[in-house]
């Protein structure tokens, strides 16, 4: 998930660029301060995503097949802040991809065990963020 997390963080910074520039807490980030260009960040996202998919292809077939879904989930989280109060739930789902993905990487299959672990991660993250 390292490539996916790097891509997701860069994607989040890219799509939130205009908000970050107006917020005093985030105005010092690299994009609003023009320390990085949008083109560079887009290239980084594409490259990180490609590395993630390539790494998944080296593990097993199921990892490769689910890698676009994992990327889609972590990218989608960046937009949830715009339309739902359930953003923390989506963050939990995004983070739950890591233990589920690790299970799939090692075992090459999905069983109820990683799904339960993923559900625990979702509830823990969403609850912790709300508190």
Match domain 2-130 to its CATH number in 3.40.47.10, 1.10.357.140, 3.30.300.30, 1.20.1250.20.
1.10.357.140
Domain boundaries, the chain: 2-130
Q: What is the pLDDT of residue 70?
A: 95
> How many H-runs (helices) and E-runs (strands) does the chain carry?
6, 0
Q: What is the pLDDT of residues 58-100, one digit of tens each?
A: 999 999 999 999 999 999 999 998 999 899 999 999 999 999 9
Whether residue 130 contacts residue 88, with contact meaning beta carbons closer than 8 Å, is answered with yes
Higher pLDDT residue, 84 or 1?
Answer: 84
Q: Which of 93, 88, 82 is nearest to 118 (CA)?
A: 93
- At residue 1 the predicted structure's pLDDT band, cuts being 50, 70 and 90, is low
Whether the pLDDT of residue 42 is over 80: the answer is yes
């Amino acid at each position: 998930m390292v490539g996916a997390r790097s891509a997701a963080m860069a994607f989040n910074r890219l799509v939130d660029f205009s908000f970050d520039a107006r917020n005093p807490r985030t105005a010092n980030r690299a994009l609003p301060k023009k320390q990085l260009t949008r083109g560079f960040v887009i290239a980084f996202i594409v490259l990180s995503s490609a590395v993630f998919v390539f790494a998944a292809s080296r593990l097993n077939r199921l990892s490769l097949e689910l890698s676009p879904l994992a990327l889609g989930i972590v990218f989608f989280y960046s937009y949830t802040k715009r339309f739902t109060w359930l953003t923390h739930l989506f963050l939990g789902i995004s983070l739950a991809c890591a233990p589920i993905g690790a299970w799939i990487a090692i075992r090459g299959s999905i069983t109820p065990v990683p799904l339960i672990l993923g559900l625990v991660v979702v509830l823990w993250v969403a609850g912790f963020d709300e508190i």
